[in-house]
Amino acid sequence: KGPASLAYGSDAMAGVINMLSAPTLPDGTVLGNVVSNYQSNNGLMGYSADFSGNKKGLIWDARYSGKLAHAYENKYDGPVYNSGFRENAASILLGMNSSWGFSHFKASLYDFKPGIVEGERDELTGQFLRSDGEVATSSDFDDYQPQTPFQKIEHYKAVWNTRLFIGQGNLQTTFGFQLNHRKEFEDADAYGLYFLLNTLSYDVKYVFPEVNDWKFTIGGSGMCQQSKNKGSEFLVPAYELFDSGIFGIANKTVGKFDISGGLRLDRRSESSDALFLNDEEKVVSATASGATERFAAFDRTFDGISGSLGTTYQISESIYTKLNVSRGFRAPNIAELGSNGKHEGTLRYEIGNPDLKPETSLQLDWAVGLNTQHVSAELNLFDNRV
């Protein structure tokens, strides 16, 4: 939380969870490991193999992982029909570490097939029913292959991450591309929903050299998305999205006070394509006989300002207190703006509103903490109004 979250733009209204990659190995090190596990509740079997190294600044890291599980159990339902899944993932990292900084390129693929729990029951016995109307048996609950309906998700990602030391400052850049296929199958041979999403993203920031206990960071980030409907069922319209934002963060130490603050300006543009269907739910032109409008075209632009100001005071060597006030911003997403269809995952029909306005938040939080060699504790009180 606090000013650091300004680097992430819209949606960071309540802070950010920052996931850090494992550190690269020391020079001259080569390591391999294999890990596996088993879970009794859903018979989950997981495994992962990794091979990594660092030779004179040339680094690499290759990993393959997999999981599969059958239906899980709970004390109310027993085994829950079609709650199993299968998952496979692979990634490779190549890069250079040097006195000038580092440059890393990482590519990954992810394949996930989860069953969709519909919860259909036999009226007389209360037992789970399969999609063909028959009562689910023990062999169905123990099957590691998800039954219909299920989703099939394929995600491909490439990221280039660089940090260059420029004098006492440093320049950090991240450029990424993601390709996501999400299909939903009502039967094993034909998908209904099929979203194809392409995402280009960038993040650039410069950390200035420290001057008179002042630390400054400026930067910009954003993304460009394009989503297409490739299936025969429709939940959200095909759309294009463009995000851009610039920010500045400042920190200064004054005695026992650490003061930090920042400001960010964001703009998000979202435009959707119109879609017309005939009586058979087939895609047709707007002028075709019997055409009805499923999605209306719209073009919206949202501007927002986020800011944060706070301080930490070191009461003693082991006791500190913090006070922070911040303003957040979140633009509505495409589902909130343009949905018009059944969302099987939530068991409801969703209708968006293209006239929605952005959300803003005003948060005040205060904390007091203790940090000693053997004991750490913190009390945090906050008020967040959206």
Closest to 357 measured CA to CA, from 383, 382, 386: 386
Predicted pLDDT at 8:
79
CA distances from 10 to 109, 348, 368 (A): 26, 27, 29
How far is Cα of residue 222 from the mean position of the Cα atoms in its chain? 15
- Kindly state the DSSP code that residue 355 receives in the 8-state scheme: T
Predicted TM-score (pTM) of the model is: 0.85
* Cis? peptide before 149, omega within 30° of 0: yes
* Spatial separation of the C-alpha atoms in residues 304 and 308, rounded to whole Å: 14
Which residues does 206 contact at the CB level (< 8 Å), separation at least 6? 169, 170, 171, 172, 217, 218, 219
Residue-by-residue pLDDT tens, the chain, 386 positions: 767 778 877 777 767 888 888 888 999 999 999 999 999 999 999 999 999 999 999 999 999 999 999 999 999 999 999 999 999 999 999 999 999 999 999 999 999 999 999 889 999 999 999 988 999 999 999 999 999 999 999 999 999 999 999 989 999 999 999 999 999 998 878 898 899 999 999 999 999 999 988 999 999 999 999 999 999 889 999 999 999 999 999 999 998 999 999 999 999 999 999 999 998 888 999 989 889 999 999 999 999 999 999 999 999 999 999 999 999 889 999 999 999 988 876 778 999 999 999 999 899 999 999 999 999 999 999 998 99
* Spatial separation of the C-alpha atoms in residues 91 and 110, rounded to whole Å: 9
CA distances from 304 to 33, 148, 250, 252, 360 (A): 46, 43, 20, 26, 8
Asked if residues 225 and 334 have their Cβ atoms less than 8 Å apart, the reply is: no
Which residues does 138 contact at the CB level (< 8 Å), separation at least 6? 79
